[in-house]
A and B are shown apart, each in its own frame.
Chain A
């Protein structure tokens, strides 16, 4: 299916956005309506190391950890649950492994619906096995395995997703050098090109198998920046660079929805509040319940406009209360009960105000994800869509930077301020025109980044 560039905002303002409601709700096979008025929990279990040794041991692991989560919903009375399984290497590398696991969980979910009336759904997240610096993005065996895996899983899962890797080789080079041109090149340009190429195929596969094409995330780049920026007192990578990379990633991640993906989106995309403002698809976000995998500085705020509420992958283990997947599914379900109460009490906007105030001024990365700010960044991106991937990504990043600098309540340390002013100067000096940018950037990164192969992106 051909990409349809988005040139208008789906939401008219940041204020119009609220958790639980999307412009374009999506309904799962067993009847969960995402973005149809309420928030639903998504739990993401992860197998223990060693369980992937044989297909049999891995299937057994998934059977247990997925069932534990489903069962806990019944125990405490949560009405819905999405289970997301992020593929470990073997599940994509050997497509029938992932497919058989998806079939297995589908049977479990059918049973739970028949037995208790629990509505549940399954996401298969295919592993992007391509390391851009070492394999060809379009012709390697890995690519064929991934597409075969999408085919196998989309026969059983409600929705499929991916965390695609395009542009990571250039981004990795650029981030540690605080080189905005390289970050724009890696995420904004190469990432978008690779997504368009992948998602056109993924959407076709989903249509054939009657599966929902979920979404993508810039986990491999913008989240890398966020992890490297780290906590408040960490200074390895300036936090403002993580914020700018995030704004750029929104322009990139949107490509999936321009190509026909519909959401629910992939949860670790902290760019999704911006994506929702632009596209209106139901989004999944993860926040405080991701502390098992990593910290973030927007744990409550990131729930402000979510439609599904999720955790970071939690390894399957025993805790005092039960196994980790039961425990996290229960917590997520209770969080959703709280959001949904506020909706039915007519207090959703108040609830949202609380969530946003909790974190908006903790960090620059949080600040740009405040609904009004996320909308404003999205607006710059769609306004520039016709000018190309690079130009709209740059416009989004410049808007994010100016939001941070202009907010009088938000204080930057001298270190962060200097980094942001420098980044803004770098971006202002870059050409607005994509062709002019590429004339400069292609030879530069071909020379500087070992393993950057333009042919991987259909470029010369």
Chain B
């Protein structure tokens, strides 16, 4: 029997098309070295990435290597994560690879890269589940923000003191346990009392929208994927009340 060689006018294999679209990392760059850098970020290879980064730095400006290779790779990771292709371990490894690359670029510049603004992130006191925060850090980093990472199990006073000293554009808190999230309103009240009015993003497994929006400064951060969008709004000077009405409710 005669068979067509091309069925594209007859039917469309949505199953194959969507699988390929979802599963495959997209090309990062037309430049082969930058593409390799991006690919190592996507694959989370913190050691293998060093050689192509060093090679790229021979001919390219460090900021270009960061923006056109490392950050683009991380953006691709965040897409794969949104699509449900990547899980947390891959994102953590990718962030490690990106940071290894950024460190090389910064060494070449002789200074830390210029950032859009500072974001203080922490996981609530008593909570050792900092997974969500690790991802947020990676995405904010990739988005060009300077992340002041207070890590997990971080006391209220440390957060407040850090904000006073660093003057960030935004603070985030992550809590996976209902026992620990009660630290967030305390932080917000203390910040307000000190006259510091900046957006505070409440996120993590235990944190619900209704509760997050029940105390001043707080905006509910539904998922890590929101991190950069929220930070961009804060950078543009949007107040916490406007941000809350934009992102929540």
Quick check: B2 and A353 within 8 Å, CB to CB?
Answer: yes
Quick check: B16 and A411 within 8 Å, CB to CB?
Answer: yes
Contact of A233 among B1, B4, B10, B15 (CB under 8 A): B15
Quick check: A357 and B15 within 8 Å, CB to CB?
Answer: no
Supposing A233-B18, A360-B3 touch, asked if A411 and B13 sit within 8 A by C-beta, the answer is yes
CA distance A413 to B4 in the complex (A): 21
Q: A200 in the interface, Cβ–Cβ < 8 Å?
A: no
Residues 1-45 of B, flagged 1 when their CB comes within 8 A of A and 0 if not, give 111110100110111101100010000000000000000000000
**Which A residues are CB-close (under 8 A) to B3?**
356-357, 360, 409
Quick check: A415 and B19 within 8 Å, CB to CB?
Answer: yes
CA distance A354 to B18 in the complex (A): 27
Identify the interface centre among A15, A232, A414: most chain B CB within 10 Å of its CB.
A232
Quick check: B19 and A357 within 8 Å, CB to CB?
Answer: no
Quick check: B19 and A362 within 8 Å, CB to CB?
Answer: no
Contact of A413 among B2, B7, B10, B19 (CB under 8 A): B19
Residues 232-254 of A, flagged 1 when their CB comes within 8 A of B and 0 if not, give 11000000000000000000000
CA distance A40 to B5 in the complex (A): 32
Q: On chain B, which size bracket covers the interface?
A: 10 to 19
> Within the complex, what minimum Cβ distance (angstroms) separates B1 from chain A?
6
**Which A residues are CB-close (under 8 A) to B4?**
357
Residues of A249-289 contacting chain B, CB below 8 A: none
Count chain A residues whose beta carbon lies closer than 8 angstroms to a beta carbon of B: 21
**Which B residues are CB-close (under 8 A) to A233?**
14-15, 18
**Which A residues are CB-close (under 8 A) to B2?**
353, 357
Q: A359 in the interface, Cβ–Cβ < 8 Å?
A: yes
Residues 164-181 of B, flagged 1 when their CB comes within 8 A of A and 0 if not, give 000000000000000000
Q: A342 in the interface, Cβ–Cβ < 8 Å?
A: no
Among residues of A, the one whose C-beta sits closest to the C-beta of B1 is A353
CA distance A356 to B7 in the complex (A): 12
> Within the complex, what minimum Cβ distance (angstroms) separates A436 from chain B?
37
CA distance A356 to B19 in the complex (A): 26
**Which A residues are CB-close (under 8 A) to B14?**
232-233
Residues of A4-58 contacting chain B, CB below 8 A: 15
Among residues of B, the one whose C-beta sits closest to the C-beta of A352 is B1
Among residues of B, the one whose C-beta sits closest to the C-beta of A362 is B11
Quick check: B10 and A358 within 8 Å, CB to CB?
Answer: yes
CA distance A361 to B18 in the complex (A): 17
Quick check: B10 and A357 within 8 Å, CB to CB?
Answer: yes
Quick check: B15 and A413 within 8 Å, CB to CB?
Answer: yes
Residues 236-249 of B, flagged 1 when their CB comes within 8 A of A and 0 if not, give 00000000000000
> Within the complex, what minimum Cβ distance (angstroms) separates A347 from chain B?
13
Quick check: A232 and B15 within 8 Å, CB to CB?
Answer: yes
Among residues of B, the one whose C-beta sits closest to the C-beta of A358 is B10
**Which B residues are CB-close (under 8 A) to A360?**
3
Among residues of B, the one whose C-beta sits closest to the C-beta of A359 is B11
CA distance A356 to B23 in the complex (A): 31
> Within the complex, what minimum Cβ distance (angstroms) separates B113 from chain A?
38
CA distance A362 to B13 in the complex (A): 7
Q: A71 in the interface, Cβ–Cβ < 8 Å?
A: no
CA distance A352 to B16 in the complex (A): 27
Residues 401-413 of A, flagged 1 when their CB comes within 8 A of B and 0 if not, give 0000000010101
> Within the complex, what minimum Cβ distance (angstroms) separates B47 from chain A?
28
**Which A residues are CB-close (under 8 A) to B11?**
358-359, 361-362
**Which B residues are CB-close (under 8 A) to A353?**
1-2
**Which B residues are CB-close (under 8 A) to A371?**
1
Q: A372 in the interface, Cβ–Cβ < 8 Å?
A: yes
**Which A residues are CB-close (under 8 A) to B18?**
233
> Within the complex, what minimum Cβ distance (angstroms) separates B240 from chain A?
41
Supposing A356-B1, A361-B7 touch, asked if A232 and B13 sit within 8 A by C-beta, the answer is yes
Residues of A340-372 contacting chain B, CB below 8 A: 352-353, 356-362, 370-372
> Within the complex, what minimum Cβ distance (angstroms) separates B8 from chain A?
11
Quick check: B19 and A414 within 8 Å, CB to CB?
Answer: yes
**Which B residues are CB-close (under 8 A) to A372?**
1
CA distance A38 to B14 in the complex (A): 36
Among residues of B, the one whose C-beta sits closest to the C-beta of A304 is B1
> Within the complex, what minimum Cβ distance (angstroms) separates B140 from chain A?
33
> Within the complex, what minimum Cβ distance (angstroms) separates B20 from chain A?
9
> Within the complex, what minimum Cβ distance (angstroms) separates A417 from chain B?
10
Among residues of B, the one whose C-beta sits closest to the C-beta of A361 is B7
Contact of A15 among B1, B5, B19 (CB under 8 A): B1
Among residues of A, the one whose C-beta sits closest to the C-beta of B2 is A353
A-B contact pairs, 6 of them (CB 8 A): A232-B14, A233-B18, A352-B1, A357-B7, A358-B10, A362-B13
* Interface positions of A (Cβ within 8 A of B): 15, 232-233, 352-353, 356-362, 370-372, 409, 411, 413-416
* Nearest 5 Cβ contacts at the A-B interface: A232-B15, A413-B19, A232-B14, A362-B11, A413-B15
Known: A233-B15, A414-B19. 9 other contacts (CB 8 A): A232-B13, A233-B18, A356-B1, A356-B3, A357-B7, A362-B11, A409-B3, A413-B16, A416-B15
